[in-house]
Structure 1
Amino acid sequence: MKEPKLLSTDRVPVAEIETKGRLRPVSEAGVESLLASIRETGVMKDAIHVRKKKDGLHLIAGGHRLEAAKRLGWTDIEAKVWTEVTDDWARLMEIDDNLAGAEMNALDTAVFLAARKAVYERLHPETKPATGAALAAKRWDAADIVSVASFATATAEKFGLTDRHVRRMISAGSALGPDQVRALRQAPRPVSLKDLTEIAKITQATDRYAVVERLSSGRAKSAAEAMRSLRQGAGDEGAVKSPVDEAFAALLKAWKRAPAAARRRFVTEQYSDLAALLAEIDGEGDDVERRER
């Protein structure tokens, strides 16, 4: 197993640091707050962390600091340069740096905690939730996202939260796909923990997408309201619907009514079109993230 090694603490060229693959775009409020501090004190308090790979330097932790340096026109920035770093170790450092230091809204906190759980369980497989006979033997609750004795407790102690709060955030973050997270970041109203908890309860993927769409477009003020309108089938009656809204509603209704065998046949026969659409959506998300950086 690789052991991370700190090569040096030195100033490195800002333009040579690769930032792709981050868990979230930087927060404008976080960058502005950091810029104000630098202008007042004249210094950036902490170094960023980068990993040295064959193709250059990749950011591990310090996205807001790096963005602030770019806006100030700095050509270089103080950095701790690491080598022999695994992807999981780098991701864990990124997550903990954000959870401990950056201003995080409920959505980003949920996404980061869910990612931290996934990394933690890869590094400590003995803490994964048990299933079947192992679950009964350990007397764990199948509804729990993780064992109280493992990740939730470790994370709660690390960041000063309760086990229950951590589990709720993880459940919410784990339920959302990357495209849904991107959509919720565009919502006119900040997504609350209560909204995320409601979304995490939705078992049907099509229902979850519909609720996310209502929140991101501003058609619902909360996830609970969006879910109620979806169940009643009349949440948007009286409102002027676009052709896209009407087509989406018709597709969603047909999908929900179709038996499992029909859904499988549809996906099989339309696989090429669906794959192309997913690739297009991923490409749009990448473009948005690049613009936000």
Structure 2
Amino acid sequence: MSRPSAANRRAPDKSALREQPARPATPGDSITSIPAAETPLTVVAGDGTVTPPTFRPGPISPPHAPALQRGRVALDLVDVADDRLRGRDADWEALIAATYAEIGQLVPIRLVREASGRFILDGFGFGVSRLEAARLAGWTEIDAEWCDRAAVDQRFYRLPEIIEAIARRRLTALDECRFLAEYKAIHLRLYPAAANGGDPQRKQVLRGQNAKIAFWQVAAESTGLGRRSVEAKVAIWDGLGTAARKRLAGSRLADNQAALGQIAAATHGLQAKVLDLLLAIPPRAGTVAEAILLAQGKRLQSADDKRFNAVAGNLTRLSAAARKPLWTAYADEIIPVLRGEGLI
């Protein structure tokens, strides 16, 4: 999802976040093999370490990829290198901390363990925002995977940091609409009393959150988007028919929220006709507005029509005294026309 501006981001409720413990890592979290559920994962605390079985970061890992260990690491043992390519974003970290209160940590961070026993998040690792969000949430441990300094190949320094940052698929506008609509459905399923804002006189607190709080407020906390933005995106997804959703996915219109909003406002039957015009090769309409007119059997305005409407609109804004020089300048054209129409 696109990053919200700093002005629209909201910091999480720290009093609620600090009640969230670090989520234990589970076998399903890894992209490859991981110690079985009955085998305790390593918990690296200040007083010692128990080493679990190691695993490679992928089923077809390149030869230079070091063997990794996986477990929970005490936050006070983790440092962040000063030479990271990407700077920190405190607002973004606050948003991640807010999601921790909802679903915990989904993806482990990547670290390197030094000979001293401390860990560093440098060019071989990733997850600075997740790390700092865990600190903000009041956690003492974080899910992580790591390798020893002696196992890394310095020729590949920064490669994991770079690939993790750039090799990701951005959500389209259509994706954002769908994800938020699904988020709303889940929220109302979990907290049915939250529908229409809930009953302010009967509050039930679950996991540090108001179970009757309106979805828009929860979504704003988790995404940083304003209420009107969330409402607009959900309304678009709800307004699109099933067939239109499928046709729009992957199309050139999928990342145009304004166009999606215009299509969603039409009836489902009209949506099909509009998409027939817009997605034709070549397109038979240049804009959604034109496609809607054509789908309704109406005529598109010509270039002269548009110019006439522009001139007529401007004339009405002029006073009679301001229009008089215009009549004088075009008298030779105006008078014959008026005579022909029998007006003079």
With the shorter chain as reference, the TM-score category is 0.3 to 0.5
Higher helix share: 1
Question: Which structure: larger Rg?
Answer: 2
